[in-house]
Amino acid sequence: MRPRSALVIVALGGTLLAPGTCRAQGPSAHAYLIMDARTGWVLSEHNGFERRPPASTTKILTALVVIERGRLGRVVTVSPRAAATPGSSAHLRAHGRYRVLDLLRGLLLPSGNDAAVALAEAADGSVSAFVRRMNRRARELGAVASHFVNPHGLTAPGHVTTAYDLAVLTRAALRHPLFRELVTTRSADFGEVGGPVRRLYNSNRLLATYPGVLGVKTGTTSAAGRCLVAAARRGELTLIGVVLDDPDRFADMVRLFDRGFREFARVRRRPAAVRVRVRDGERPWVPVVAARELDAPVPRAQADGVRLRVWVPRQLLAPVRRHEVVGTAALVAGTQVLDRTVLRTQAAVPVDRSLSAALRRGLSLLATIWRIAHP
């Protein structure tokens, strides 16, 4: 299912890779997607809305839920069940005491499945309760095609997501400074409270090889194949990339990022303030401003064709409230609206209740009645 919020830029003529040619000249991934992190727009995709097993990219959501719960400095005891979790490991000791923040490092750097279970149990008392919270949060964020049954991503029936949903979850997670710090960390000290310290290393090779990369998460299982979710910034453009079941995931992500940065640019416009006449008000006009700057990623070849359009009424009738929505501004390319925002009044304008104003209104009413009676 393709969510309504997923705008794929094809009307402008800009796609990173034509879907039918991805095997020949682009990623060897079964599915890939590139998203603009600022707007959430999909710039290019192939099978980007197909449900697939996500492997350890699941841990993006696990980390997000834990970070949003807070209390990251508290100390928790690792259960034997968590310590015995198979697959990639942070090598937690059963009954060992660890800070939640350290467990997050064990989750995101070496991709510890044991850390995922320990965090789930610490946050909600059980893995099942934590997974319910994961699914609820995913739906809230718009990752509606996903369903998770564990916090680590080991293959299980019904544990699926899409490249699009993973980009949506990553976009939300990157809003948290701590998540950004963790996924860009190449190595960190780790250990039990009061115990010996060892070094953890990040499994994301792009951290050492691609300028501007913001990290994020690798994942591999036999069912999911080699997967990678990454983000990178260059100039004003930040891209989120997802490749699923890709034997050459790091090189393909570099190709996607390079082409995305080469072919797309950010267009930003802030509509100028305007003055709108006010009828029967204490002042004859009111200033009107845009609620925010307009912002959209566009193919570089079409950037000069993007236009700013503003719609405001010629006149308002008093009383006018402050911050009242009275118009719209939009970035448009041809018939496609790239971004829009509302225009609001900057001040209140009460009705003019002076005698002269009352006389003017009376005369205007009489004139209206005359026109109706003598068409």
Cα–Cα dist 8/41, whole Å: 6
Within a 10 A sphere around the Cβ of 205, how many other Cβ atoms?
15
Q: Which single residue is written with the structure tokens 């509509």?
A: 271
Cα–Cα dist 165/17, whole Å: 20
CA distances to 50, 228, 257 from 247, rounded to whole Å, are 18, 10, 17
- 147 phi/psi in degrees, rounded to 5: -145, 125
* 161 DSSP assignment: B
The neighbouring-strand residues paired with 341 are 329
- Cis check for the bond before 375: say yes or no (omega within 30 of 0): no
Burial of 138 from C-beta contacts in 10 A (0-12 / 13-18 / 19+): buried
Catalytic status, residue 354: no
Show Cβ contacts of residue 341 under 8 Å, excluding neighbours closer than 6 positions.
290, 291, 292, 294, 328, 329, 330
Catalytic residue among 56, 88, 146, 217: 56
* 92 DSSP assignment: P
Query: What are the residue ranges of helices labelled H in the chain?
Result: 22-25, 59-69, 80-83, 100-108, 113-124, 127-141, 163-173, 177-183, 206-209, 249-263, 355-373
Catalytic status, residue 217: no
Catalytic residue among 59, 88, 146, 217: 59
Burial of 149 from C-beta contacts in 10 A (0-12 / 13-18 / 19+): middle
CA-wise closest residue to 67 among 146, 169, 160: 169
Catalytic residue among 88, 111, 146, 217: 111
Tokens of 101: 């923040």
Show Cβ contacts of residue 67 under 8 Å, excluding neighbours closer than 6 positions.
104, 173, 176, 178, 179
Q: Determine the distance from the C-alpha atom of residue 296 to the mean position of all C-alpha atoms in its chain, rounded to a whole number.
A: 14
Catalytic status, residue 5: no
Q: Determine the distance from the C-alpha atom of residue 259 to the mean position of all C-alpha atoms in its chain, rounded to a whole number.
A: 20
Residues belonging to the active site: 56, 59, 111
